[in-house]
Chain A
Amino acid sequence: MIRSSASEMASALAQGEITSVALTQLHLDRIASVDKDVHAFLHIDTEGALEQASAVDAKRAKGEKLSPLAGVPLALKDVLAQKGVPTTCGSKILEGWRPPYDSTVVAKLKKNDIVILGKTNMDEFAMGSSTENSAYGPTHNPWDLSRIPGGSGGGSAASLAAFEAPLAIGTDTGGSIRQPAAVTGTVGVKPTYGGVSRYGLVAFSSSLDQAGPCARTVLDTALLHEAIAGHDAKDATSINAPVPQVVAAAKSGDVKGMKIGVVKELNGDGYQPGVRARFEESLELLAKAGAEIVEVSCPNFEYALAAYYLIAPSECSSNLARFDAMRYGLRVGDVNGASAEEVMNLTREVGFGREVKRRIILGTYALSSGYYDAYYGSAQKVRTLITQDFTAAFTKADVLVSPTCPTTAFKIGEKSNDPLAMYLNDIATIPVNMAGIGGMSLPSGLADEDGLPVGFQIMSPVMKDERMYSVGAALEAALLSKWGAPILSKVPALGGRV
């Protein structure tokens, strides 16, 4: 049962073939047996999960009308506040903090009776592409435990690939949902910016951050998308418009007559041969399914990475100023009449890890007087140019596509001492965040040279998220009939029972 899709689990629950308590317990058992190897979770909320499961079973027994995913378990990235449950963002500075409120995403999950199993590991404050920057140790990729599961949402993606949860929530600032999905053979969607509320999502870079759904199939991802999306008065940047019809699109998977634009700049040199081969194969399958493949050019994308590593650090240097040791979180050095400033300095020295400090200092520099125009100001202009490239490309195509990342999963430790090499992982995912549009990654197969999963990225215009689900579902169906079984059936057996 744990290898089924969330939709299959939901239907078994609806048919009375299993209870949510039993289904939740199966996943808790699976976590107990494999998570010592995978380390997808930072906190497992056994009691809370079983309580939620038993409540939904009671509602079902009474014949109440339930939401489509009611009773199905989920793994929550540890960057979203959940009332009374430890929320660390992978940082020592928040160790032991239990938020006194629910984020809107969590409130919606609870309202939909989706059972929250626990909190998943991540790069500290979502800064990273490998989950190696977690203060609590790395997560291991279920495909090969010596490799990274991507990041920052490596815990959420790994939990899906390890069959510890059929659904997960991630957040994506520069690719933190899509890149982990790509390297673990799972599906992840960054909705249009403003499509899902950021209330209670601990801010890294407010103009780029977006929470979104992760799962093992396109339809499951759509069902979760619909459950968490929608306008929220608590987030002033939330879009007040109907949620795109993502579930209908995922169910139909119709791409006949759609124009699919291949972004010339997001391919070629620097992309691993197996990544390129899987990408070309997917394009052929989409063409066979009735889509028209066209090439588009987005010349300013080559500046996206540089602009991102100015904008995100600048916003983070401001956002992370809130961790000042005064109202919550860690406090160090509050002795012998130390001043507030001394306590802040010492707390932030101990509480933040290396990458977080690096980005705060870089952002402080980019925003400082005398350098602002040259760095932050110029990056904002590049953001305009990237958005214009997308606008022009979307006049020629309904969606744009590329490989999700240049390589498959690399070894833990391989890039941790080279920040620039690490930043390059996000080269194909960052433009989407800069323009605030939607992006999906779904598995397109395994690279011949290393047998590891490759991701296919689909990008759709603002609030046209349903388009990436149509294309994703069409490609998923074509690949499934080619393979005969889902890609995750090839994940090596982990330590425990299956």
Chain B
Amino acid sequence: MSSLSRDEVANLARLARIEMSDEELVSLASEFTVILEAVARVQEVASADVAPTSHPLPLRNVFRPDVTTPSLTPEEALSGAPASEEQRFRVPQILGEEA
């Protein structure tokens, strides 16, 4: 029943922004057939009358006073950056050159 093809895994890898070799896609697809069969068991008891739980605590919004508190300096915030320039993170191009 539940199985994934190589192309389906390739699409998921694209959505998850992970480059994958053909070999990796094929082996993941075969592993997923086994894993999905095991996890699909949740459907046996998940009937419509059961409410879902997303979190163990019954929390709603948690508020704090809207006041300024000390935070990182620009140097600290940029200390782990792969590249920075003029107190900013330098990133690869996001829009095409033509844009």
A interface residues, Cβ below 8 angstroms from B: 97-101, 193-194, 207, 233, 236-237, 239, 300, 303, 305-307, 309-310, 317, 321, 324-331, 334, 337-346, 348-349, 352, 357-358, 360-362, 364-366, 368, 374-375, 377-385, 387, 419-420, 423, 434-436, 462
Contacts and interface: CB of A to CB of B under 8 A. Distances in A.
A80 B9 CA distance: 32
Contact of B82 (A98, A300, A310, A334): A334
Q: Which of B40, B92, B93 has the most CB of A within 10 A?
A: B92
B28 A379 contact: no
Given A97-B80, A233-B64, A338-B92, A375 B42 contact: yes
A46 to B, nearest CB: 22
B42 A364 contact: no
22 contacts: A101-B72, A101-B76, A303-B41, A306-B38, A309-B35, A309-B38, A310-B42, A324-B17, A329-B80, A339-B93, A340-B93, A345-B18, A349-B18, A357-B20, A365-B12, A366-B39, A368-B12, A368-B15, A381-B46, A384-B52, A436-B57, A462-B56
B28 A358 contact: yes
Contact of B83 (A331, A352, A434): A331
B93 A337 contact: yes
A324 B91 CA distance: 10
A236 B59 contact: yes
Contacts of A99: 80
Nearest 10 Cβ contacts at the A-B interface: A436-B56, A328-B80, A380-B52, A331-B82, A378-B46, A349-B19, A381-B46, A100-B76, A383-B53, A345-B19
Contact of B18 (A348, A375, A383, A423): A348
Contact of A384 (B15, B35, B51): B51
B49 to A, nearest CB: 9
A381 B92 contact: no
B53 A327 contact: no
Interface residues of B, number: 52
Contacts of A368: 12, 15
B25 to A, nearest CB: 10
Nearest to B17: A344
B79 A100 contact: yes
A381 B32 contact: no
A100 B80 contact: yes
User: Chain B at the A interface: mostly helix, strand, loop or mixed?
Assistant: loop
Interface in B54-85: 54-57, 59, 62, 64, 72, 76-77, 79-83
Nearest to B41: A306
Nearest to A96: B80
Contact of A378 (B4, B31, B43, B81): B43
Contacts of B76: 100-101
B60 to A, nearest CB: 10
A375 B36 CA distance: 9
A317 B47 CA distance: 26
Contacts of A342: 92
Q: Which of A337, A342, A344, A364 has the most CB of B within 10 A?
A: A364
Given A98-B79, A329-B82, A357 B97 contact: no
Contacts of A434: 56
Given A100-B72, A236-B62, A337-B97, A325 B82 contact: yes
A111 B65 CA distance: 25
B87 to A, nearest CB: 13
A361 B56 contact: no
A496 B42 CA distance: 49
Contacts of A374: 40, 43
A339 B17 CA distance: 12
B98 interface: no
Given A98-B79, A357-B28, A368-B12, 9 more contacts: A305-B38, A307-B39, A326-B89, A379-B46, A382-B42, A384-B50, A384-B53, A387-B56, A419-B35
Given A327-B80, A343-B92, A348 B17 contact: yes
